[in-house]
Amino acid sequence: MSDTTPDASATVSRNVRRLRILRGWTQDEAGKRFGDITGAPWSKAVWSSAEARTRPRNWTANELAGLTELFGVTFDELFAPPGEATCPTCGQQLPDSLPPESPQEGKRYRLTGEHLQAVAATYLAAENDALPPTVTVASRYGVGHSTAAKWIGKAREAGYLPQWSTTPGGAR
């Protein structure tokens, strides 16, 4: 296998992360849902490890079968290389550019201009990739949905994101 071709385990890990984020699930929630299917729930730490790209998991056949049921995808979709994976719900191609999740879960962030610019960049990348922007910001920084929404509002106020239209039914 060449250095530029991801191995199958890394591809599955990458797709598992994308599919979880597309559904707006936290790692805890995905782990509980996985347990409902397999009878063995995964903790956030186990789920995070399973999504890691640096040390891909050695997936078992039972885990792969559970993932296909959890996400409603086929084995082919679970193993689809980057650039070929599609969303099982809408059929759109899954983006290769999901932002990394926060390496420092629970970290408190100062709302500096630099931070708000990073929030805006994450929001715009998610929007461009047809992902739910607020969920993506929340996942990227390891914060709740309401905190992510507040940060997005602050980024708008600071001019890093366009303002919403005030016209009823108008374009954003």
Contacts of 24 (CB under 8 A, 6+ apart): 132, 135
Same domain, 14 and 70: yes
Same domain, 12 and 72: yes
Is 163 inside any structural domain? no
Nearest to 67 by CA among 97, 94, 31, 29: 31
Of 78, 95, 128, the residue at which a domain comes to its end is: 78
pLDDT in tens, 105-132: 445 677 888 888 888 888 887 777 677 8
Same domain, 128 and 67: no
Q: What angle do CA 137, 138, 144 make, to 5 degrees?
A: 155
What pTM value is reported for the model?
A: 0.53
Say yes or no to pLDDT of 171 above 70. no
Please return the burial class of 48, using the count of CB atoms within 10 Å of its CB with bins 0-12, 13-18 and 19+: middle
Mean per-residue pLDDT, 68-96: 71
- How many domains is the chain built from? 2
Running DSSP on this structure, what letter comes out for residue 54?
S
pLDDT at 136: 83
- The amino acid sitting at 27 is Q
Nearest to 55 by CA among 7, 1, 101: 7
Same domain, 72 and 122: no
Say yes or no to pLDDT of 75 above 60. yes
pLDDT in tens, 135-150: 888 877 777 788 889 9
Same domain, 18 and 67: yes
Of 78, 98, 125, the residue at which a domain comes to its end is: 78
Is 89 inside any structural domain? no
Same domain, 74 and 17: yes
CA-based R_g, the chain, Å: 17
Q: Which two three-digit tokens encode residue 6?
A: 């991801």
Same domain, 61 and 121: no
Is 92 inside any structural domain? no
Q: What percent of the chain has pLDDT over 70?
A: 74
Residue 86, classed as helix, strand or coil, is strand
Range of the domain at 141: 113-157
